[in-house]
Chains A and B, each alone.
Chain A
């Protein structure tokens, strides 16, 4: 048997057929659904008189539109309400399991999938959302799809796919103290560019990744799409299995499942289509300065001057970005003041993220110039955080403590920036208008966001005086 990568193994195991003149069909083990990209798909099924082939492999939750404040009140925006109601009606009609508003397990779809044990190693997992890449942290092939493909999966439990190429991103050495998984992935995107990974599935390898827990691995895989990659994956190991053990949807015969999953990691002499190697020690806490995630630098330096960029496209993008962001090349990152801080999103809203942020704010208060909020990724994360008293730490410091949802990552719900507001955000995209028209987004780690909330501008959290 020739040597195979993790991607090869999962791919080979899922090809249903390859008819001549057609792209192969691959089987989809798990289909995650949310309210924004499914309405038209269910409507398409209805019009064609088709059913959902495998409701038992389909799981839904509303997350993008949901308010993060009092859930007992009706949803104020009638269009948001309609979209959430539509999801509920569709799930009822087609027999799909829905973790609805009011359900204690509702949350951001990419947070609840793993915490419920729906996401498992070796699976193919899709969702009408590009951050589906998150689930690759489990050694799964997980990627985002558009609404037409959502309809295709609902109807057939398969997808037509051309096999992507494999890119090994190996991080050697070790991260410096105070540098997190979020900083690592922002750094990688800065190096690879927003299209460096296009056409590839990234497999993250090396001692730094191996040393990460599952939540850190999810943060890294989550942002693979921002480097252009369809998906990111990390081979499963005992850390993966321990996290999954006992979870609601974990396999009943767990030891048998482990024996299967242990076959998944890439063979030692497997060949990737491309390899990029990085040194963990090169990485400091990162802050984006521009309007795409690759426009990023270390906190200990300055905003670059675009006229120093070699590529004319990069120069004009850089100029445009600085104008939009109201910033100048040469300004120190630590001199950038903030209006808002948002700790949340499918990238960083899990319990370890909240612990890291709480440790920073403990004993301090949010600066008077800043409006800060924490949005846990799911009902479960929220409950656990409350059991640990993290909510009290945040509220005492002056943060708002909210209900679970996508919130201010993308401004489709009431959590939105006003034009010109500058926000330190633990989310994954800083495109123009992403958090609200005219809103200015800086992507950072939870600890960096927390520190910025207290001080009112960016600081190097490695020098933080923890109380």
Chain B
């Protein structure tokens, strides 16, 4: 997994609460057996009209969002189904960071599995960011944010500076681009020991 230490990116704002994973990646696209190629289906039912053309009214289709790598949303982002295809679609489309006042639990964990950073800020701070993005838009400027994972800071070039919180283990995984499974297998002796204490016969090692 690619490490994420710092990120500077253009912000795309999606002014909706409770964006569920059925909207992020509708079910017909879950039939793929690969991990890649989901970006083209991101927010499919919102991005495209019935005839297959881009909906000019959808926020992410606006020219001001071109090249955006930071998604700004409202509370309870990623609720509903546990499909990891949701962060896969977001990442494949080009997003590296999602900012919201709150995230659904499973979506939040799934982000870290894919080197994506979900940043939880207060409702007031998220409001401020929506306003700043709108202001920039009025001047035909793309709003940008700078993020530093090790100091857990997020800010723009115009006096917006905040810190955010992430679990130390998630932070380490992002900074080091850790392979979760490899890390856990380093504890294989502990897993063996737990199984033994619970009366489970040792695994067959001639796999």
Which residues of A line the B interface, CB within 8 A? 16-17, 19, 21-23, 25, 27, 36-37, 39-40, 43, 48, 50-51, 53-54, 64-65, 77, 79-80, 82-83, 86, 128-130, 143-149, 151-152, 155-158, 160, 162, 164, 194-195, 198-199, 225-226, 228, 230, 292, 313, 316-317, 320, 410-412, 429, 431-434, 437
Chain B residues whose CB sits within 8 angstroms of the CB of A19 once the complex forms: 187
Tell me whether B82 and A144 are in contact (CB under 8 A).
yes
Given A39-B33, A313-B74, A411-B27, are A27 and B191 also a contact pair (CB < 8 Å)?
yes
- Apart from A82-B33, A147-B35, A148-B180, list 19 A-B contacts with CB within 8 A: A16-B190, A22-B183, A23-B169, A39-B33, A43-B35, A54-B203, A65-B31, A83-B31, A130-B82, A144-B82, A148-B113, A149-B109, A155-B185, A156-B181, A158-B187, A194-B76, A228-B76, A411-B27, A412-B27
Give residues 69-83 of B contacting A (CB, 8 Å). Answer: 74-76, 79-83
Chain B residues whose CB sits within 8 angstroms of the CB of A77 once the complex forms: 31
Tell me whether A157 and B191 are in contact (CB under 8 A).
yes
Tell me whether B185 and A156 are in contact (CB under 8 A).
yes
Min distance, Cβ A447 to any Cβ of chain B, angstroms: 26
Tell me whether B172 and A21 are in contact (CB under 8 A).
yes
Measured in the bound complex, the distance between the Cα atoms of B80 and A410 in whole Å is: 12
Tell me whether B180 and A160 are in contact (CB under 8 A).
yes
Is B158 among interface residues, defined by CB-CB distance under 8 A?
Answer: no
Tell me whether B45 and A429 are in contact (CB under 8 A).
no
Chain B residues whose CB sits within 8 angstroms of the CB of A145 once the complex forms: 82, 106, 109
Q: Mark B104-127, 1 if CB is under 8 A from A, else 0.
A: 111001100110000000000000
Measured in the bound complex, the distance between the Cα atoms of B32 and A120 in whole Å is: 32
Tally the A-B contacts, defined by beta carbons under 8 Å.
174
Chain B residues whose CB sits within 8 angstroms of the CB of A50 once the complex forms: 181
Chain A residues whose CB sits within 8 angstroms of the CB of B33 once the complex forms: 39-40, 43, 82-83, 86
Chain A residues whose CB sits within 8 angstroms of the CB of B113 once the complex forms: 146, 148-149
Is B60 among interface residues, defined by CB-CB distance under 8 A?
Answer: no
Given A83-B31, A160-B180, A292-B18, are A144 and B169 also a contact pair (CB < 8 Å)?
no
Min distance, Cβ B105 to any Cβ of chain A, angstroms: 5
Min distance, Cβ B81 to any Cβ of chain A, angstroms: 5
Is B20 among interface residues, defined by CB-CB distance under 8 A?
Answer: yes
Given A146-B83, A199-B105, are A16 and B207 also a contact pair (CB < 8 Å)?
no
Give 5 nearest A-B pairs by CB, closest first: A146-B84, A148-B113, A144-B82, A39-B33, A51-B207
Measured in the bound complex, the distance between the Cα atoms of B203 and A311 in whole Å is: 55
Could you say which of B28, B81, B84, B172 has the most chain A C-beta atoms within 10 Å of its C-beta? B81
Q: Which chain A residue shows the least CB distance to B187?
A: A17
Min distance, Cβ A74 to any Cβ of chain B, angstroms: 16
Is B26 among interface residues, defined by CB-CB distance under 8 A?
Answer: yes
Tell me whether B172 and A146 are in contact (CB under 8 A).
no
Give residues 161-185 of B contacting A (CB, 8 Å). Answer: 167-170, 172, 180-181, 183-185
Is B194 among interface residues, defined by CB-CB distance under 8 A?
Answer: yes
Give residues 188-202 of B contacting A (CB, 8 Å). Answer: 188, 190-191, 194-195, 198
